């Protein structure tokens, strides 16, 4: 524990700005992964343990696209869409057969793919750490904000994620697609009896969740180094975010992700050896006070 360092930081505006902006981008990336996870769980009832690997694939897809095209925007699209397509194929071939199976069977399928995809990444991209570096578009001087400095890419990442969160919430709450998705979450069979192709709907939801994870990977690529194990650690953090926010709640995932991001950012100064522990402690605290998570509702 290093309380003096933490006190030093919170009394300096530049350190606060740096840590808050770092916390925000951690939170934004976590939100993108966790919202897909929570969406898939909320509708399909499947915990997609492979979700972290989708994030990893998004990062590597975008790395390759960036090296080929030199355009970071192409890289983001390649990461997001590439993983979305992969997710749909994965759902149709491997997840749809286990919808009605025991959760252990679902876990087994997902865990197998965590290992398979890690190996695929090792074969295709190698075992070494890889970096994309800051794309030329964002290689600009940092922005001066509240007495601190924020890299322009952080602003872009945060803005894009907030826009994505808003769009996702409109999609789920206001559109016909969203109404069908929420109806499928409650009673898939009845929805099917009303003429809705629920297999297609499930594949679309899984694809959307995968797209979000792929986008997160692509957005993380300029600020994170890539390695074949990167999927697993974000999976655990995303679970924590999902549990804190409330299983199935997108707005809950957003607030939980920001809180976890901030806790990590300041925790790394005050409690550098206990950052993960702080997240778990926060999760335990939330569960003690509200067992369904911040925005979770009691299951009927």
Partner 1 sequence: MSRALKLELREIDVSYGASQILFGVSIEIEKGATMALLGRNGAGKTTTFRAIAGLVAPSAGQILLNAKAINGLSPYRIARAGIGYVPEDRQVFPEHSVEDNLRIAKKPGAHRQVYWNLQRIYEVFPTLYSIRQRAAGRLSGGEQQMLVIARALMGNPELILLDEPSEGLAPIMVQQIARLLLRLREMGVTIVLAEQNLHFCQTVATHVTIIDKGQIVLRDKAENLERDAEITRRYLAV
Tell me how far apart the alpha carbons of residues 80 and 128 are, in angstroms, rounded to a whole number: 23
50 φ/ψ angles, rounded to the nearest 5 degrees: -80, 0
Residue range at the interface with partner 1 (CB under 8 A); choices 118-126, 153-161, 195-203, 282-290? 195-203
Does 195 bind partner 1 (CB under 8 A)? Our answer is yes
Does 197 bind partner 1 (CB under 8 A)? Our answer is yes
- Helices 230-245 and 103-125: crossing angle in degrees, nearest 10, is 140
What's the burial of 219, exposed, middle or buried (CB within 10 Å: 0-12/13-18/19+)?
buried
Tell me how far apart the alpha carbons of residues 146 and 113 are, in angstroms, rounded to a whole number: 45
Does 189 bind partner 1 (CB under 8 A)? Our answer is yes
Does 298 bind partner 1 (CB under 8 A)? Our answer is no
DSSP string computed for 110-164: HHHHHHHHHHHHHHHH-SS-B-----GGG-SPPEEETTEEE-HHHHHHHHHHHHH
Does 100 bind partner 1 (CB under 8 A)? Our answer is no
Among 4, 11, 141, 176, binds partner 1 (CB under 8 A): 176
Does 196 bind partner 1 (CB under 8 A)? Our answer is yes
Residue range at the interface with partner 1 (CB under 8 A); choices 16-24, 52-60, 69-77, 193-201? 193-201
Does 170 bind partner 1 (CB under 8 A)? Our answer is no
Q: Residue 173 Cβ, how far from partner 1 at the closest point, in Å?
A: 11
Among 13, 175, 187, 225, binds partner 1 (CB under 8 A): 187
Residue range at the interface with partner 1 (CB under 8 A); choices 17-25, 61-69, 194-202, 269-277? 194-202
Q: Specify the residue for token string 């997902």.
A: 110
Tell me how far apart the alpha carbons of residues 210 and 207 are, in angstroms, rounded to a whole number: 5
Neighbour count for residue 102 (Cβ, 10 Å):
9
Q: Residue 300 Cβ, how far from partner 1 at the closest point, in Å?
A: 8
Does 199 bind partner 1 (CB under 8 A)? Our answer is yes
For the chain, the C-alpha Rg in angstroms (whole number) is: 19
* Count of residues of this chain found to bind partner 1 when the rule CB under 8 A is applied: 19
| Binding positions for partner 1, rule: CB under 8 A | 176, 179-180, 182-183, 186-187, 189-199, 300
């Amino acid at each position: 524990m290093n309380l003096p360092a933490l006190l030093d930081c919170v009394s300096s505006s530049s350190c606060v700005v740096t840590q808050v902006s770092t916390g925000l981008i951690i939170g934004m990336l976590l939100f993108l992964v966790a919202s897909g996870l929570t969406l898939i769980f909320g509708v399909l009832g499947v915990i997609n343990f492979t979700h972290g690997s989708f994030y990893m694939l998004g990062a590597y897809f975008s790395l390759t696209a960036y090296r080929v095209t030199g355009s970071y925007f192409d890289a983001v699209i390649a990461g997001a869409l590439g993983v979305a397509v992969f997710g749909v194929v994965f759902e149709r071939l491997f997840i749809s057969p286990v919808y009605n199976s025991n959760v252990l069977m679902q876990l087994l399928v997902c865990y197998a793919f965590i290992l398979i995809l890690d190996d695929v990444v090792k074969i295709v991209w190698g075992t070494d750490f890889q970096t994309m570096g800051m794309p030329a578009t964002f290689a600009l001087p940092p922005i001066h904000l509240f007495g601190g400095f924020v890299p322009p890419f952080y602003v872009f990442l945060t803005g894009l994620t907030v826009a994505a969160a808003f769009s996702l919430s409109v999609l789920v709450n206001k559109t016909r697609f969203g109404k069908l998705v929420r109806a499928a979450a409650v009673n898939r069979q009845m929805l099917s009896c009303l003429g809705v192709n629920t297999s297609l709907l499930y594949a679309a939801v899984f694809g959307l969740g995968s797209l979000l994870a792929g986008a997160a990977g692509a957005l993380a690529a300029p600020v994170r180094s890539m390695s074949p194990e990167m999927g697993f650690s974000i999976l655990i953090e995303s679970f924590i975010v999902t549990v804190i926010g409330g299983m199935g709640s997108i707005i809950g995932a957003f607030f939980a992700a920001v809180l976890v991001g901030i806790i990590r950012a300041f925790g790394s100064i005050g409690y550098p050896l206990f950052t993960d522990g702080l997240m778990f402690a926060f999760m335990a605290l939330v569960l003690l006070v509200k067992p369904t998570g911040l925005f979770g509702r009691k299951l009927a």
